[in-house]
Chain A
Amino acid sequence: MVLQALEREGVELIFGYPGGANLPIYQRLPNHPKLKHILVRHEQGAAHMADGYARACGKPGVVFATSGPGALNLVTGLCTAYMDSVPMIAITGQVNSTQVGRDAFQESDVIGATSSVTKHSYLVTKIDQLPRVIHEAFHIATTGRPGPVLIDICKDVQQAEAESVPHERLEIPGYKLNGHVDLDRAKEAAIALATAERPVVLAGHGVLLSHAEEALRELAERAAVPVGTTLLGIGAFPVNHPLSLHMTGFMGTGWNLKAVQNADVLMMVGMRVDDRVTAKLADFAPQVRTFIHIDIDGSEMGKNVRPQIELVADAKQAINAILPHLPEPEKGRGTWLAQIDAWREEHPLRYTHSNGHLQPQDVLIDMYKRCRNEAIVVADVGQNQIWAALWWNYDRPGLFLNSGGSGTMGFALPAAIGAKFARPELPVWCVAGEGGFVMTAQELSVAVEHQLDVKIVLLNNFSLGMVRQFQDDFYGGVRSQVDLTHMPDFVKLAEAYGLPARRVEKFSEIAPAMDAAERIKGPFLIDFRIDPEANVYPIVPLGKSLNDFWEAPESNA
């Protein structure tokens, strides 16, 4: 009955792992050839695969896990999806309904453990609840601000025989979608933007989720407003556009941070305005007289920054409501845009490349030359993530996937596998540090089993690079527990899993290794042994304002 309901919801792919409490579902799975099931090697891998799948194609990712440890292994993956508003359905087996609460074998309070990392959750104890619950779960996961929904199904319910009746009615009184745009507010926003002297727009993940990129571009060009993106908003505005401010936040570009800190009107679209965007909140965008905040989730209004103009709505609808009211800017924007260009000249992205070590940026630049905007890059968390964000000029949405809000190490490999299942026609590159990579490296077996064309770019600096950088710069230079000298030989590890691999230690070896990665079908791993001292710049020291960003040492530019 579960599987029939999933078919009705249009599910084609499930990432999962069987166990005692979901065996009835797995018993019936072979009778449903339309549902392709990917056997993962750890449930966390399943959750990240479903997440990567959903991010890459927009459809909800579906995960199966058994009760107790199986379900609890999903928690990190659910949190990752929840923080980044990714639609996902997790179906977990629970012990028999009569055993719930008796500490049965592999029983755990999965609803309790996951409530704070799911958009909603259900415990199903009776078969007649199931069609309604599954239909509601997909609706809730995919509408409004998307997110993961967990359905915990007791084993006796899975076993029960009942006619599967489609449930089409949706009656969820407590679930309200913000449908309409307040047109008065939209007009106010248009006037504020048009009359601003130094306007800036920041675009977050919500722009991508609502497919508002075109509308945003039209708004930017009509009003001559520069646009930056958050880490998760990358792709919402072309980096190569003359009005682009690239990435904002505490590891954003210098010209972006200068623009934000000097703006008089700041429009924030589809974003949470979290601490990684604002740095020191009290000093965030201090010259702004009108904050405009557009978000589909009303609780984001004033959570961190109190806007003067609130638009609780879908980003695309809100921007489309602003557009008709947008007169030509009353004052010439020439001075402001010229100022931003000057900052772009003054604070370029730069990196050290004269110390004899292999630099991560060189690796990424070579990758970008090959892929341009025809590949999906899935980054892990840490320095590799920020390098991959800054050193590619993403022009289109959906090309850069990463765990932004939760910052989950180990995300990249399984998410890249999920993305490849979602978009088999696109090359998929996984960029990870060696620290995060080994956290979920067991999923290499999945890539090999399905001969997925996923290219793994390991930026191996023999340490937890981002933590090491923080310790060097902000924690008195005490390097504590960041040394990762003792790691597997990644080439041999890859071979043990059954995929070809190479090691690269010199600049001149980058291109041949990349050639091989592109030439060979199926998964491929390159262990790039990079400069162990390479740092992420710009960076705002912890607790400081965006004004105080540090740049890469100029002498090395």
Chain B
Amino acid sequence: MPDRIRVLSVLVEDGPNTLSKVSGVIRRRGFHVRSISVGPSQEPGRSRLTLQVDHGHAEADQVRKQLERLVEVVEVEDLTGHEVHSRELVVAKVSASEVPSLVERGARVLDSGPSGTTVEFAGEGKDVGDFVDELLRHGIVDVARSGPVVMRRTA
């Protein structure tokens, strides 16, 4: 991962403007979103964003600081360089009806039939990348990938 990428976990208030405010700040400050994933947090009315952001020409700590200025943003944790669990999900359709080598890699078969197989796989970004390379050998039909969700390691 290039040095200019910051990995942030951002707790936000749910609201119609939140995502556009967050992305607006990122664009306006010359940053660039590499990946984003959003989902509900354990607190009602709040969501957790996991962002990978290229900070461009700005100072690295500006990403966190500019996001913190938003009233919609409750908390920002800059996880760059920390020991984290980073997981990505891929769901893919392949033309093969049998995919033993994918299952061996840890893929789960969601459905299969004569027209092909749908599998899911979760892992670190690199493992997901390798898995997608492997899919090519099985006649890849469609792939959907999530951005990573990241959490600091317990110890």
A→B interface (CB under 8 Å): 111-112, 115-116, 119-121, 123, 140, 172-176, 297-299, 301-303, 306
Contacts and interface: CB of A to CB of B under 8 A. Distances in A.
B59 A172 contact: no
B61 A174 contact: no
B71 A174 contact: yes
A120 B71 contact: yes
Contacts of B65: 298-299, 301, 303
5 contacts: A111-B17, A119-B71, A299-B65, A299-B66, A301-B65
A119 B72 CA distance: 11
B71 A115 contact: no
A111 B62 CA distance: 24
Nearest to B28: A116
Nearest to A109: B20
Contacts of B13: 173-174
B24 A115 contact: yes
A533 B58 CA distance: 39
A133 to B, nearest CB: 12
B62 A299 contact: yes
B41 to A, nearest CB: 12
Given A112-B20, A172-B71, A306-B59, 13 more contacts: A115-B21, A116-B28, A123-B16, A140-B71, A173-B74, A174-B12, A174-B74, A297-B69, A298-B68, A299-B65, A301-B65, A302-B61, A303-B62
B70 interface: yes
A399 B24 CA distance: 36
Contact of A302 (B20, B59, B72, B73): B59
A102 to B, nearest CB: 16
Of B13, B65, B66, the most chain A CB neighbours within 10 A belong to: B65
A119 B71 CA distance: 8
B68 A299 contact: yes
Contacts of B61: 302
A298 B59 CA distance: 13
Contact of A175 (B16, B59, B66, B71): B71
A111 B24 CA distance: 11
A299 B31 CA distance: 15
Contact of B17 (A115, A116, A174, A299): A115
Contacts of B62: 299, 302-303
Contacts of B71: 119-120, 140, 172, 174-175
Q: Chain B's interface: helix, strand, loop or mixed, by majority? A: mixed
Given A112-B20, A298-B68, A174 B59 contact: no
A119 B69 CA distance: 9
A445 to B, nearest CB: 36
B8 to A, nearest CB: 14
Q: Give 8 closest A-B pairs by Cβ, nearest first.
A: A299-B65, A120-B71, A174-B74, A174-B71, A175-B71, A173-B74, A115-B24, A174-B73
B59 A303 contact: yes
Interface string B42-81: 0000000000000000110110011011111110000000
Interface in B1-31: 12-13, 16-17, 20-21, 24, 28
Contacts of B68: 176, 298-299
Contacts of B74: 173-174
A173 B41 CA distance: 15
Nearest to A119: B71
Contacts of B12: 174
A111 B17 CA distance: 8
B134 to A, nearest CB: 42
A289 B70 CA distance: 33
Given A302-B59, A302-B61, A115 B72 contact: no
B70 A174 contact: yes
Contact of A116 (B24, B58, B59, B73): B24
B60 to A, nearest CB: 9
Contacts of B16: 123
B51 to A, nearest CB: 16
Contacts of A298: 65, 68
A121 B72 CA distance: 10
Contacts of A301: 65
Nearest to B58: A303
A140 B61 CA distance: 24
B17 A123 contact: yes
Contact of A121 (B17, B28, B58): B17
A409 B137 CA distance: 63
Contacts of A176: 68
B20 A115 contact: yes
Contacts of B17: 111, 115, 121, 123
A174 B72 contact: yes
B45 to A, nearest CB: 10
Contacts of B24: 115-116
Contacts of B59: 302-303, 306
A539 B22 CA distance: 38
A221 to B, nearest CB: 34
A119 B21 CA distance: 11
B77 to A, nearest CB: 14
A111 B18 CA distance: 11
Of B16, B20, B28, B71, the most chain A CB neighbours within 10 A belong to: B71
